[in-house]
Amino acid sequence: MAYNNLIFTADDDEDDRLLLQQAFQQQSPGCQLVFFADGDELLSALTNTPPHELPRLIILDLNMPRMSGFEVLKRLKAHPRLRVIPVVIMTTSSRPEDISLSYQSGSSSFVTKPASYDRLLELVQITRQYWFETVTVYSEF
Amino acid sequence: MRNSPYPALIPAPRPLIYFVDDDPIDRQLYYKAFQRTFHNHDVELFSSGFEMMAATSQADRLPMLIFLDVKMPLMDGFETLLSLKADRRWSAVPVIMLTVSREPQELKLCYQLGAQSWIAKPESQEAMDQLMGVVQTYWNTAARTPYMA
């Protein structure tokens, strides 16, 4: 995995995907987002991606059809090659049970989807500063 | 206040941070950095993973974040991380590895063991304040943690 600016995102809500794409383009154009409509698609893409093209970060919704975010997270963290990629849960939920279970299942952080676009822009900026300019991720498999 | 029609106001506990590092100079430097950047947070310092793990059994509240050094005597960062993540309650507390190590294999192992982040210790106080400012902003305004539970 290179020190790239690639983010893989799984979210079944098309409006949320568009908003996130727009916010990253506006706030952090250097980051490249690849979207998946559910966890199955995400897992399939990740397992078929060559090591040097794996993303630096995964953003994962919790409530998705077919396979919940928790199940996707569990599978990612059980995978010998993929488990080192940080996963940020981004969801409408702010339930304490979901927050605890996300961390217990291996997520790197838990973020509640903002209610306004301005707040989303702030979130994108803070996310870029933290995950792309401050944290070191594993770069070789 | 016994006859007050309003219930007594109980202030919410201040967020708590654990900082684990065997270097006494770093403990003091980071304690001051936390005071400058993490306003209104309580900070508890530990000189080893062993000392921190002993404290977890007595703790009445979870910290919001744990900053953990990698290389420490008695119980290093890997063993400490392993112990934390094996405990159901404590496994929900985000752990940030804060270290001078630049070893890819150590970094990989920390992520495999469940560390939430790996951050390299900066070399100047200015860089330290800048870094802690970003960390504080992320964990206080973007991310949610179960520290109130």
Q: Which domains does chain B have, with CATH numbers?
A: 16-138 (3.40.50.2300)
Which stretches within B1-149 are classed as H helix? 24-37, 49-56, 77-86, 104-112, 125-137
pLDDT for position A141:
44
Residue B1 pLDDT > 50: no
What would the two tokens of residue A38 be?
A: 């559910």
Residue A137 within any structural domain of the chain: no
How distant is the Cα of A67 from the closest Cα of chain B, in angstroms?
22
**pLDDT < 50: residue spans in chain A:** 1-2, 140-141
- Least trusted range by pLDDT, from A81-95, B47-61, B76-90, B135-149: B135-149
Mean pLDDT computed over every residue of chain A: 94
- Rounded Cα distance between B122 and A136, Å, is 12
What would the two tokens of residue B6 be?
A: 């309003």
Number of domains in chain A: 1
- Rounded Cα distance between B126 and B110, Å, is 27
B65-82 average pLDDT score: 96
Residue A119 within any structural domain of the chain: yes
Tell me the per-residue pLDDT of B106-140, one tens digit each, with 9 for 90 and over: 999 999 999 999 999 999 999 999 999 999 999 99
Tell me the per-residue pLDDT of A73-107, one tens digit each, with 9 for 90 and over: 999 999 999 999 999 999 999 999 999 999 999 99
Instruction: Look up the ipTM and state it.
Output: 0.94
Residue A111 to residue B142, Cβ atoms within 8 A: yes
What would the two tokens of residue A91 be?
A: 């969801």
Q: Which domain holds residue A81?
A: 6-132
Q: Is the pTM of this model over 0.90?
A: yes
Contacts of B116 in chain A (CB under 8 A): 86, 103, 107-109
The CATH code of the domain that includes A99 is 3.40.50.2300
Specify the residue for token string 């993540």: B85
Strands A87-91 and B16-20: unpaired
